[in-house]
Amino acid sequence: MADVIKSLFRPLRIRIPYVIDVIFISDPEHIKRIEASGDVDRLHRFDTATLPWWVRFYFRATRFHDEQRDLWFLALEGAADPSYGKRHAYLRAKLGTGYTKADVERIAGLLKTNTAEDVFAHELVQVVNRRFLGEEIPMAVTKAAKETLQTFGEALLPWKYIHAARSQRYVANYCARTLPPDVQVLDIAHNIGTVVKTLTRALRMVQDNLETPVEEIFTSHPLTLEAPRIAVRSSKLDGLLWFPTRAGWTVLIFKIGTAATKTKDLFFTFGTGRSARACVFMDFFLAFVSDVQRALRETDSDRSRA
């Protein structure tokens, strides 16, 4: 009976020998268990050149990988990566300097006046990323960041893919030119892209839901839907699979968005359901969007009193 129940919950797997092997995991408990098992790790646990072809193909056109310098964003670095501690501490310290009341008022003001998307994204990038670059990030950079890929489906459209890969190089080159030499270029290039593509969307959602607590908004409508991992040893994932994974070849996609809506746990909106290796930006994000929501609510009630 236990086996029958288990087979009902078997994850979806697309496996074509020598071509692709990818497993989708949506169940929150499975995600947590597999993450803690040591059977999987972040993609860059393996050298870029040895990763599955489709991983290299897709990620070079996203904000998570810089092919020219062979750099990966921190979230994709393996557990034992020697640079992890220093990079993590740097990002935390920089974000720890917070934001100002004037930042909140400016962003709330832009939302109220329905500012054009590109201008809004550009202003938001300054709030989060000026601290890293030490200057106003040019509009050409924030516009390029918007063009990088967000889903694998987009990679199948050749013109979109070529444009995205070029845009990603443009943002990474700007960061390489501008950042102090000891800062990892892609950690910051990623942050520009995420603000343009995700934080802008998040603030529009807040504007449309002024009375809903932000925790509720972002667990009902999570912002990041998937997190990738790669098998580091042969495993049937505690009986979930018919055939074992292959180290360095089988990719797992944790459907963290589905897990967030099921559990209402913000640690699935910003990670894999636990505080370890959750998004470094999470606390900043929750405080900032709550403050903007409050500012928007206050102007709404001022207007109705007038």
Which residue spans within the chain are E strands per DSSP?
12-16, 20-25, 40-41, 65-66, 71-72, 227-231, 251-254
Residue number, 223 or 240, with CB nearest to ligand HEM = 223
- The least CB distance from residue 114 to ligand HEM, in Å, is 21
Contact footprint for ligand HEM (CB under 6 A): 74-75, 88, 91, 95, 128, 191, 194-195, 198-199, 202, 223-224, 227, 256, 270-272, 277, 279-281, 285
Contact yes or no for 283/214 (Cβ under 8 A) = no
Contact yes or no for 139/162 (Cβ under 8 A) = no
- The least CB distance from residue 111 to ligand HEM, in Å, is 16
- The least CB distance from residue 265 to ligand HEM, in Å, is 12
- The least CB distance from residue 107 to ligand HEM, in Å, is 14
Residue number, 99 or 299, with CB nearest to ligand HEM = 99
Number of alpha helices (DSSP H) and beta strands (DSSP E) in the chain: 14, 7
In angstroms, what is the C-alpha Rg of the chain? 20
Which residue spans within 17-161 are E strands per DSSP?
20-25, 40-41, 65-66, 71-72
Residue number, 120 or 270, with CB nearest to ligand HEM = 270
Residue number, 198 or 212, with CB nearest to ligand HEM = 198
Cα-Cα-Cα-Cα dihedral sign, residues 101, 105, 108, 111: negative
H or E element at residue 239:
none
- Report which of 298, 299, 105, 287 is spatially closest to residue 214, judged by C-alpha positions: 287
Residue number, 11 or 271, with CB nearest to ligand HEM = 271
Residue number, 83 or 301, with CB nearest to ligand HEM = 83
- The residue sitting closest to ligand HEM, measured at its beta carbon, is 279
Q: Calculate helix-pair angle for 28-37, 256-263, nearest 10 degrees.
A: 120
- The least CB distance from residue 197 to ligand HEM, in Å, is 9
- The least CB distance from residue 18 to ligand HEM, in Å, is 27
